[in-house]
Structure 1
Amino acid sequence: MALLAVRLAQAGYSARAIGLNPAAGGLATLAIATFVPRLARRLGVQTLLFMALLAAILSLGAFAAYENYWSWLVIRGVFGAALTVLFVLSEFWINTAAPPNRRGIILGLYTTSLAAGFAIGPTILAVTGTKGLAPFLAATALFVIAAVPVALVGGQAPQIEEQAKTSLWSFLTAAPSATLAALVYGAIETAAMGLLPVYALRNALSAETGALLVSLFALGNVIFQIPMGLLSDRYDRRRLLRINALTGLLGALALSFALAANFILFATLLVVWGGVVGSLYAVGLAHLGSRYQGPELAGANAAYIMLYSVGMLAGPPLLGVGLDLAPSGLFLAIALLLAAYLGIVSWRIGTAHP
């Protein structure tokens, strides 16, 4: 993702044009996610995982072969669809295989590896550089490595033997505390990754400091996932989501003025806050796993990924409005988003809804 943005920037494209590229991936997710459970039922989970891995590898080859803006836009859509299949099926598999009393910690391990991957991926470019075939070959090697465990134990993957009786969007009304956690996290994560460097510049900090802020946010995500997973195995997950939302809200308000007081204080708060809001994804996913099984769980996972993608698409432009209004407006806008989510979760708990 970082590689494509850099190559387009080096070719002289505008920020708006570069931003359309990841949007193509997000739109592909919204288009394909609803069909993943049906395809898995017909083809089998292992076969569909292999097909998605192959499509991703071919997409990387196409990126390298056709370095053209419009071609890359189409390829990014195919690549995004392949990644969507991998996300939906892997999370369905993990959620199904996890024992109920250890689901939180297992999903905490999963999201820790996911956060670590996001953190490590861009550093590969420091080794390969951004020019030539080397970065594409390195990414291809990762997908080949990912195919090994699918080949070895993919036959043990849970099968989807019947169609889900619940429509995809019905999961939103049935379990909004869980599904909206994905939307909120998708919006905050993408906005933080993309706008924290801009936030640094608007507050008279250097571009290097802005990159450091992104790393601190990601570090919190890595550190907090396993402890929060352990907590989610011991406590009501809806109440834990409410605590996360409230803590994230208070943290965002504190961050809005902490930078003016002391940079070390701000940096420390950012790590903790990144871990708290990052835990929304794992706890929400565990909550879904405790509610659904079989084809219903596959459908719920697809809905979860779709809402995460909606957050990714809508988060940066909406939360960026706050940053345009005031230097500290990014965190105030995030606080408003978390306040809305907190209200929904509190309402569900107060009315005894699951």
Structure 2
Amino acid sequence: MQPSVSPRNKKPWRAIIAATATIGAVGVALGLGTQLISILMAARGFSSSVIGYSGTVGGVATIIAAVFTAPIAKKIGVARSILTMMAVGCASFLGFYYFDSIVIWFVLRFTLHFAITVMFVLSEFWVNSSAPPAKRGTILAIYAITLGLGFTIGPTLLAYVGSQGFAPFGTACFLIAIAALPIIVAWNLSPQFKDSDHVAFFHYIFAVPSSTMAVLVYGAIQMGALTLITPFSLNLGYSESEAAKFMSVLALGNVLLLIPIGMISDFVTDRRYPLTGCAIIGLSGTLLIPLIAQTKWLLTLDLFVLGGVSAGLYTIGLAQLGSRLKGFELAAANSAFIFCYGIGMLVGPTAIGKAMDIFPPFGFSDTMATFFGLYIILVVTRVVLKLIRS
């Protein structure tokens, strides 16, 4: 199938800046908003289990939205879809302020995360399809960093505006409204699809497994580590403040190592090799944890590297999609990519938590090592089979 996206995007940098600036602003709003919702649920007396179920609803919404994103974009267009979901996101935020029913809150959590996912997939697709091939890995790394910084800044902003009254909800909506401006400016640069375009969504889960399984592993390790690194650190004898620092180090590795990893991937024709490299480093790093767990500076350094290479799986996997696919095929593949990310987010914390109960305390690192190891086996097997066939 030939690329079906219209050649309207003659100014790729304007499109890249628009989509990246948008996801940054949305990231700030959502980082603020999701933290705010958890705080308010706790303040209103909801149990940790109910708050956890609320997060699960968000994960389910992510998976469902990934299935429908490409058809929505085909029906009403990429830019219009993003703006529509911005409106849905704003309405969801306001709903949390105006309604008290837990049932309505669960519905709002679903609509909020559905809107987030559609915006996420389409802005990602827009950047990926607009990026010059020689710089795709670097540009996607900058995009991922911008999103990550947005999620980091959001909770910090919440500390200033507070969690009471209309102010935090109004702030989140204001930020999303600002994020709409670059989309409107770059409206004519957004990708367009033909009416005849049709690609089965689930096909791309298996068509580019080195990419989709990379993001599944990333989702599992990222969510599992963020959820369980604190109890893991406490089990090792570290304090709560030290556990918080370990979490910060993981996030810092996500940010600081992505650009060099992205630049390296731009010099490689077959991105399965840097993907495998990231997984091998991740496997080595997780296997080292039991040996260095009581040496704080070594553990800190190890977690910093693990944060970077696990995020590298996401960025390089996404760049590989952009190098192999175009037009509506890329949009459908992007949806499959985020679908697998959502599956990883659901599987990771459960698998790692269960392993920590059965094999304390290093079930934490052993399970992550298993994820990395299985991915290495997948990619190496595919590369070997390709060499045999050729």
Provide the C-alpha distance between the structure 1 equivalents of 2:43 and 2:52, rounded to a whole number of angstroms. 14
Q: Does 1:76 find its partner at 2:100?
A: no
**Contact 1:162-1:295 at 8 Å conserved across structures:** no
User: Where do residues 145-294 of structure 1 align in structure 2 (5 Å cutoff)?
Assistant: 145-162=178-195, 164-235=197-268, 236-260=270-294, 262-294=295-327
Change (3 A) 1:251 1:164: farther
Provide the C-alpha distance between the structure 2 equivalents of 1:293 and 1:162, rounded to a whole number of angstroms. 16
Given residue 186 of structure 1, which amino acid in structure 2 is its aligned partner?
Answer: G
User: Where do residues 75-94 of structure 1 align in structure 2 (5 Å cutoff)?
Assistant: 75-94=108-127
Bigger shift: residues 320-329 or 148-157: 320-329
Match of 2:60 among 24, 27, 34: 27
User: For residues 278-308 of structure 1, what are the alpha-carbon distances to aligned partners after superposition, in whole Å with 9 as ceiling and x for unaligned?
Assistant: 1110000000111111110000000001110
Provide the C-alpha distance between the structure 2 equivalents of 1:193 and 1:160, rounded to a whole number of angstroms. 38
User: Matched residues, percent identical?
Assistant: 38
Measure how far apart 1:132 and its partner are. 2.6
Bigger shift: residues 113-122 or 304-313: 113-122
**Contact 1:248-1:277 at 8 Å conserved across structures:** yes
Given residue 333 of structure 1, which amino acid in structure 2 is its aligned partner?
Answer: T
Q: Does 1:346 find its partner at 2:380?
A: yes
> With structure 2 as the length reference, what TM-score do the two structures score?
0.87
Provide the C-alpha distance between the structure 1 equivalents of 2:306 and 2:150, rounded to a whole number of angstroms. 20
User: For residues 94-150 of structure 1, what are the alpha-carbon distances to aligned partners after superposition, in whole Å with 9 as ceiling and x for unaligned?
Assistant: 111011111111111111112212222222222122333222222222211211101
Provide the C-alpha distance between the structure 2 equivalents of 1:58 and 1:133, rounded to a whole number of angstroms. 13
Provide the C-alpha distance between the structure 2 equivalents of 1:114 and 1:129, rounded to a whole number of angstroms. 22
Equivalence for 1:2: 35
Measure how far apart 1:256 and its partner are. 3.2
Provide the C-alpha distance between the structure 2 equivalents of 1:70 and 1:203, rounded to a whole number of angstroms. 39
Provide the C-alpha distance between the structure 1 equivalents of 2:292 and 2:36, rounded to a whole number of angstroms. 33
Equivalence for 1:313: 346
Structure 2 stretches of 5 or more lacking a match? 1-33
Change (3 A) 1:101 1:83: same
What secondary structure sits across from 2:293 in the alignment?
helix
> With structure 1 as the length reference, what TM-score do the two structures score?
0.95
User: Where do residues 114-129 of structure 1 align in structure 2 (5 Å cutoff)?
Assistant: 114-129=147-162
Equivalence for 2:367: 333
Change (3 A) 1:125 1:337: same
Structure 1 vs Structure 2 CA RMSD: 1.6
Provide the C-alpha distance between the structure 1 equivalents of 2:199 and 2:181, rounded to a whole number of angstroms. 34
Given residue 315 of structure 1, which amino acid in structure 2 is its aligned partner?
Answer: G
Provide the C-alpha distance between the structure 1 equivalents of 2:125 and 2:279, rounded to a whole number of angstroms. 25
User: Where do residues 6-17 of structure 1 align in structure 2 (5 Å cutoff)?
Assistant: 6-17=39-50
**Contact 2:92-2:112 at 8 Å conserved across structures:** yes
Structure 1 stretches of 5 or more lacking a match? none
Give aligned pairs, total. Answer: 353
Provide the C-alpha distance between the structure 1 equivalents of 2:130 and 2:106, rounded to a whole number of angstroms. 36
Provide the C-alpha distance between the structure 1 equivalents of 2:322 and 2:195, rounded to a whole number of angstroms. 18
Provide the C-alpha distance between the structure 2 equivalents of 1:321 and 1:194, rounded to a whole number of angstroms. 13
Change (3 A) 1:10 1:208: farther
Provide the C-alpha distance between the structure 1 equivalents of 2:315 and 2:195, rounded to a whole number of angstroms. 26
Provide the C-alpha distance between the structure 2 equivalents of 1:83 and 1:203, rounded to a whole number of angstroms. 36
Bigger shift: residues 34-43 or 177-186: 34-43
